[in-house]
Amino acid sequence: MMYQGTFYNSLKVYNRSSRLGRKTLTSRLSPWFKVAVVTVSTGVLGIALISYLNSIGAVNFTVLGIDVSAFVYTVWFNLLWYLVFISIPFMGTYACVTGGWCYWGTFNQLVSRMGLFRLKVKDPETCLRCPTVDCAKACPVGLTDMRSWFLKQGEFKSMKCIGVGECVDACPYDNIYFYDVRNWIRERLKRL
């Protein structure tokens, strides 16, 4: 798969230097990204509704004699998925997430935004003294502004963060960790 290995690692560098790839860096959401996410999400929900109405016999809407959800799924994974791969040198390795092109990527972002996990640092001062910023360089999504979040707030939470965890592994000081519901429960139990 093209998301792993030497090809993947070399593209992380290339994506940060290409003109279009640089526009998708940082955790900020651009207006076109929001339009893509809303369009894809609304389309998937609309298609699911039509498919349900087909299954109960309320409507009879097909495309080339195929249920609309099966048709869209076929087109999505037999055509559009290859367009995502072809766009990697221009849009980045995770165009699904950074561009809002696919529903799974936007669903992961919604879960991330709801706050089920976030990245925290044990000591923000360690980030201030860090000369390498390996966390931002390792992020496959290209969230290059995480260090400033760590310095200002001690944590990083972004809709674009999908929780791959390469930043945690890349930190030479073992300063970054995932804060999730397990941490929250431990804190509450310690107070009792």
Each residue of 134-181: pLDDT tens digit?
998 888 778 888 899 999 999 988 878 877 888 999 999 999 999 988
Last residue of a domain, one of 65, 93, 110: 110
Catalogue the long-range contacts made by 72-76 (C-beta closer than 8 Å, 24 or more residues apart): 72/43, 72/47, 76/102
Residues 93 and 61 occupy one common structural domain? yes
| Alpha helices per DSSP H over the chain | 5-15, 19-22, 31-55, 68-75, 81-86, 88-91, 95-98, 103-114, 124-129, 134-138, 146-153, 166-170, 181-191
56-100 pLDDT, tens digit per residue, is 999 999 999 999 999 988 887 777 777 777 777 776 666 666 666
CA distance 117 to 119: 7
Count of domains forming the chain? 2
Q: Are residues 58 and 83 in the same domain?
A: yes
Mean pLDDT, residues 109-119: 75
Residue 90: what residue type?
A: F
Last residue of one domain, picked from the residues 110, 131, 164: 110
Co-location of 177 and 137 in the same domain:
yes
Identify whether residues 166 and 136 lie together within a single domain.
Answer: yes
Please give the share of the chain, as a percent, with pLDDT higher than 90. Answer: 29
Let me know if 100 is exposed, middle or buried by CB neighbors in 10 A (0-12, 13-18, 19+): buried
The reported pTM is: 0.70
The whole domain housing 56 covers 5-110
Question: Which of 87, 110, 133 finishes a domain?
Answer: 110
CB atoms within 10 A of CB 153: 13
